C-alpha cells in the first residue's frame, strides 16, 4: 500500500499560522482530507501520515479526530509539551489512539545552535522512551550535529529526519550538509523522509534534476530501507502541484528494485511508524 509519509492539514488562521508569509498565498486557505484524497488517488496512493503544523496539544487532538473520520489518515505525528510535568499523562492519553504514531519537535526553531540537547529535552526524551513512539526531527543543516548528539543518547528510540534536513538546494551547495547527513545516517535508529525539497529549491524555476545530488547523498547514506516518500503537502504547493512534487522522488527511485520502491513508497513508513492496517 502506497502512503505519503508527510503532509499537513489546517483550517487557516493568520494568527495561528504566522509562518505562512505573503509569498505563500496558496497556503492561506483551508487544507483538509477531502482536498488531499483526490491528489493521493491521482498517483495511486492510498493514504498518508498527517504531521503537526502547530505546536499545541489541541493540534494533536484535532488531527486524531480527523483520523477517526477519514480512513486515508494512516498515522498522526503530533505535538506534546516535552517540558510539561503532564508529559507522561499526555502521551498515555494519546497512545490509546491507534493512529497516534509519534511526535515532532522543531529543533530548527532554536534561537542558538546548541551542541548538546538541553536538560528539558533530555527529560522529555526520557519520558517519550516509555511509549515506543517515533520522534520526528525538524532541523536545518546547522542543527545536524545536535541531532547526532540526540540520537546517540537514545539508540533504542526511533527517529525520523524530516525534509532531508532542508539543504540549500537553490544554491546547489552540498557541504557541509552532506557530511552531517552521513554522520546522522550512521545511527541505525534514524530514517529519513524524501520530502520538502522544492521548498529549498528555486521555487519558480526548479527542475527535478536539481534534487538529484541531494537524493544521491541521502539514498547512499540511509539506503532505500530507511527512506520514505513524503509530499509536505500543502506546503509544497507554493512551488508546485502535488503530482509534480511526488514525481521528483517517484522518478528518481525507478533505478531501485520493485521491493525497494515499495518500501520507499509505503512499506518503510508502515514499519518505522508501526502503522496498523
pLDDT for position 196? 97
Q: Is pLDDT at 116 greater than 90 in this prediction?
A: no
pLDDT tens digits, 37-87: 999 999 999 999 999 999 999 999 999 999 999 999 999 999 999 999 999
Q: In percent, how much of the chain has pLDDT > 70? A: 97
pLDDT tens digits, 218-230: 999 999 999 999 9
What does the block give as the cell for 148? 547526532
Q: Is pLDDT at 112 greater than 60 in this prediction?
A: no
pLDDT for position 23? 80
Write down the pTM of the prediction: 0.95
Q: How confident is the model at residue 110 (pLDDT cuts 50, 70, 90)?
A: low
pLDDT for position 143? 92
Q: Is pLDDT at 203 greater than 80 in this prediction?
A: yes
Q: Is pLDDT at 111 greater than 80 in this prediction?
A: no
Instruction: Share the mean pLDDT of the chain.
Output: 95
Q: Is pLDDT at 109 greater than 70 in this prediction?
A: no
pLDDT for position 229? 98
**Residues 152 and 189 sit within 8 Å (Cβ to Cβ):** no
Instruction: Provide CB contacts within 8 A for 253, sequence distance 6+.
Output: 224, 229, 260, 261, 264, 265
pLDDT for position 108? 66
pLDDT for position 256? 98
Q: Classify domain 3-272 at the CATH class level.
A: alpha beta
Beta bridge partners of 47: 3
pLDDT for position 201? 97
- Average pLDDT on 133-160 reads 95
Q: Is pLDDT at 106 greater than 90 in this prediction?
A: no
> What are the extents of the domains in the chain?
3-272
**Residues 275 and 97 sit within 8 Å (Cβ to Cβ):** no
pLDDT tens digits, 10-27: 999 988 898 888 888 889
Q: How confident is the model at residue 120 (pLDDT cuts 50, 70, 90)?
A: confident
pLDDT for position 87? 96
Amino acid at each position: 500500500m502506497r502512503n505519503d509519509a508527510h503532509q499537513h492539514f489546517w483550517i487557516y488562521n493568520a494568527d495561528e499560522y504566522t509562518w505562512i508569509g505573503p509569498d505563500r498565498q496558496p497556503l492561506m486557505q483551508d487544507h483538509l482530507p477531502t482536498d488531499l484524497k483526490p491528489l493521493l488517488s491521482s498517483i495511486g496512493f492510498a493514504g498518508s501520515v498527517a504531521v503537526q503544523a502547530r505546536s499545541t496539544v489541541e493540534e494533536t487532538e484535532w488531527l486524531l479526530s480527523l483520523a477517526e473520520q477519514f480512513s486515508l489518515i494512516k498515522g498522526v505525528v503530533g505535538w506534546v509539551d516535552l517540558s510539561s510535568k503532564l508529559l507522561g499523562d499526555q502521551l498515555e492519553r494519546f497512545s490509546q489512539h491507534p493512529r497516534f504514531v509519534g511526535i515532532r519537535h522543531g529543533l530548527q526553531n532554536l534561537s542558538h545552535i546548541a551542541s548538546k540537547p538541553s536538560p528539558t529535552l533530555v527529560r522529555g526524551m526520557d519520558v517519550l522512551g516509555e511509549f515506543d513512539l517515533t520522534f520526528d526531527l525538524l532541523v536545518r543543516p546547522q542543527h545536524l550535529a545536535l541531532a547526532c548528539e540526540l540520537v546517540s543518547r537514545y539508540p533504542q528510540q526511533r527517529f525520523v529526519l524530516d525534509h532531508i534536513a532542508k539543504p540549500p538546494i537553490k544554491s546547489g551547495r552540498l557541504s557541509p550538509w552532506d557530511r552531517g547527513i552521513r554522520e546522522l545516517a550512521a545511527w541505525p535508529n534514524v530514517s529519513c523522509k524524501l520530502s520538502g525539497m522544492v521548498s529549498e529549491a528555486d521555487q519558480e524555476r526548479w527542475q527535478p534534476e536539481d534534487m538529484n545530488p541531494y537524493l544521491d547523498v541521502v539514498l547512499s547514506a540511509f539506503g532505500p530501507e530507511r527512506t520514505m516518500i513524503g509530499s509536505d503537502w500543502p506546503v509544497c504547493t507554493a512551488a508546485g502541484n502535488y503530482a509534480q512534487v511526488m514525481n521528483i522522488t517517484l522518478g528518481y527511485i525507478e533505478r531501485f528494485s520493485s521491493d525497494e520502491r515499495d518500501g520507499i513508497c509505503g512499506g518503510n513508513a508502515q514499519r518505522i511508524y508501526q502503522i496498523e492496517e
